[in-house]
């Protein structure tokens, strides 16, 4: 029975590993997709900020043109002022000059504000670019690792399944049937270690007498609480 028990322990470890690998295989595409979405989102945010800065630059260029036109029309009005003879015409031109000057001054203010904003955004964008590069680099590195994982899982599963078959062949059919039934009913864990009188399957205490029996390793013992096959695991050895 000692040999059967040790084979059962091995089988449980292998089956748990197979379950882990299969779950990993299922979750990998989602993880990869999440990374891709994360990178694309960072790129999207950066492009948006870049576009905003381009718009500001565009607005700045338009203001400069307006400013140029404004100063030309101011020049024209001022030279007309020297030519007009009648007083009402003179007053009208003065008023015109005043209007142009006000407008020019407003455009000038906007240019100053725009330049400050552009300056600030340029600094921010440089930091954003650096951040994006980091996100991209780290994301792509993780993607490469996940890709490698995905490639190796099938080969790993194949070799583990071969080992599983070998162990199954060496087990008593009755023991194996019990194991499979338990595994199905107990969410994949049929054989569990016990240490310090506590079953690691259900976390309940087992009777002291049973614990003593368990340490002898002589027959298959079943947890009185969760019905799993138990074995004594000396965790005091782990340091």
Locus of tokens 């099938």: 154
Q: For the chain, how long is the longest CA-to-CA vector?
A: 126
Q: Which is nearer to Zn ion, 122 or 225 (CB)?
A: 225
d(CA 117, CA 53): 9
**What Å distances lie between residue 55 and 32, 66, 111, 113, 128, CA to CA?**
35, 16, 14, 14, 17
The answer to whether the CB of 55 falls within 8 A of the CB of 116 is no
- Closest to Zn ion by CB, 57 vs 205, is 205
From candidates 201, 211, 229, 232, binder to Zn ion by CB under 5 A = 201
Residues 72-131 that bind Zn ion (CB under 5 A): none
Of residues 167, 199, 214, 229, which one binds Zn ion by CB under 5 A? 199
User: Interface with Zn ion includes 223 (CB under 5 A)?
Assistant: yes
In this chain, which of 9, 28, 202, 220 binds Zn ion, going by CB under 5 A?
202
Q: Nearest approach, Cβ of 128 to Zn ion (angstroms)?
A: 55
Going by C-alpha positions, the residue among 219, 239, 237, 42 that lies closest to residue 130 is 42
Output the smallest distance, CB 199 to Zn ion, in A. Answer: 3
DSSP 163: H
- The Cα 12–Cα 5 span in angstroms is 10
Give least dist CB 221 to Zn ion, A: 11
221-222 vs 198-199, strand pairing mode:
unpaired
In the complex, the smallest distance separating the C-beta of residue 215 from Zn ion, rounded to whole angstroms, is 16
Name the segment binding Zn ion (CB under 5 A); options: 92-100, 209-217, 219-227, 231-239: 219-227
Q: Please identify which residue in 84, 171, 210, 226 interacts with Zn ion, judged by CB under 5 A.
A: 226
Query: Tokens in use for 23?
Result: 């779950």
CB of 23 to Zn ion, least distance (A): 23
Point out which residues bind Zn ion (CB under 5 A).
Answer: 199, 201-202, 223, 225-226
């Amino acid at each position: 029975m000692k040999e059967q028990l040790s084979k059962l322990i091995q089988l449980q470890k292998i089956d748990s590993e197979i379950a882990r690998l299969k779950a990993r295989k299922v979750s990998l595409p989602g993880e990869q997709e999440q990374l891709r979405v994360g990178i694309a989102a960072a790129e999207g945010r950066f492009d948006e900020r870049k576009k905003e800065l381009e718009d500001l630059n565009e607005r700045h260029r338009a203001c400069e043109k307006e400013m140029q036109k404004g100063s030309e029309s101011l020049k024209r009005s001022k030279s007309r002022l020297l030519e007009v003879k009648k007083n009402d015409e003179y007053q009208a031109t003065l008023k015109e000059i005043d209007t142009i000057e006000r407008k020019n001054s407003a455009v000038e203010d906007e240019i100053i504000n725009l330049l400050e904003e552009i300056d600030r955004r340029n600094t921010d964008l440089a930091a954003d670019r650096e951040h994006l590069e980091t996100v991209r680099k780290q994301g792509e590195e993780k993607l490469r690792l996940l890709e490698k994982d995905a490639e190796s899982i099938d080969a790993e599963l194949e070799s583990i399944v071969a080992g599983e078959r070998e162990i199954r062949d060496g087990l008593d059919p009755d023991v194996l049937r019990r194991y499979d039934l338990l595994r199905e009913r107990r969410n994949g864990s049929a054989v569990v270690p016990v240490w310090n009188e506590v079953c690691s399957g259900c976390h309940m205490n087992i009777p002291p007498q049973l614990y003593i029996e368990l340490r002898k390793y002589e027959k298959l013992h079943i947890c009185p609480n969760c019905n799993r096959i138990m074995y004594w695991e000396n965790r005091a050895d782990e340091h």
